[in-house]
Structure 1
Amino acid sequence: MIECVQGDIAHQPDMEAVVNAANAQLRPGGGVAGALHRAAGPELDRACRPLAPICPGEAVITAAFGLPNRHVIHCLGPVYGVDEPADELLADCYLHALALAEREGLRSVAFPALSAGAFGYPLEEAARVALETVSATLPRCPHLERVRFVLFDAETAALFQRLLDEQPAG
């Protein structure tokens, strides 16, 4: 099941993992990365350091520390207009994150809109890539029962929901 909600990615206590829109060095920053690092505490930064750097499209997993989740999956989305092919690299983020969740036997994972903020990816294109990739990949992830897209504002949540509703039935 895929769901789209407005909310704070750092406050998803019913999800086993949350996905961080990470930077290459996996360091605290602004946006999603800053919110998750602040909520998780300094242990998250220490756990990330030996895993960095990562390249666009890659994902790594750590414990969640002070977050109400078991894990944080860190994905480096493409910078739009810089990292190419952007659509493939963005899809790879979701593929690799889902593969890590499945490897860990997780039943639920929450994603932000990867690359759609400071990385400049046009929101509707980013949403299409995200939803199409997750929808196509979930059948190969038998442990995963629920994927949630946690979007920052009501307009973004509505866009994701509209695009999800438009997808052909499975």
Structure 2
Amino acid sequence: MGTLRTMFSVILFGVIAVLMAIDVTIEIRSGVPLGLESFELVIFLLALGGIAIHWWRLTEARAEVKRWTEDARRWNQEAQDILQGLGVAIDRQFDRWGLSPAEREIALLQLKGLRHKEIAELRKTSERTVRQQALSVYRKSGLNGRNDLAAFFLEDLLLPAGTSSDVRASGS
């Protein structure tokens, strides 16, 4: 909205400047003394100043939008890199636990927040099968359930900068 208003102001001041320039030129050619045109010349100069100020504001606004866009792109790329790294780390941990492909899928869907019933519908299996595979994931991982599974992977992501999981585990 501010950029649109600034653009409108630049155009308005431009129109005023052009009209004043035409008026002053016509009147000077008609023989009107320059002293009588001084008020209109001041208006003309003020209009030019308004154009310059608003053009500068518009340029600054565009530069700021460009910076924000670049920051957003950079953040998005960093987030993608982190998510990809997290996915690799999760996959490695599943390898360490020796999870089967079905157990991996169950664990990933649980990490995404799906309930057993939703996982069963998605995988076109019974809820009982999903429950059994989830129990197998917990047994192989040494975790006590869905909450522990999520906490296992998310705990280090939620630590304040500069802290390690060792510090948190010791209760400090």
The structure where helix makes up a greater share of residues is 2
Q: Could you tell me the TM-score, scaled by structure 2's length?
A: 0.21
Structure with greater contact order relative to length (CA < 8 Å, sep ≥ 6): 1
The structure where strand makes up a greater share of residues is 1
Larger Cα Rg: Structure 1 or Structure 2? Answer: 2
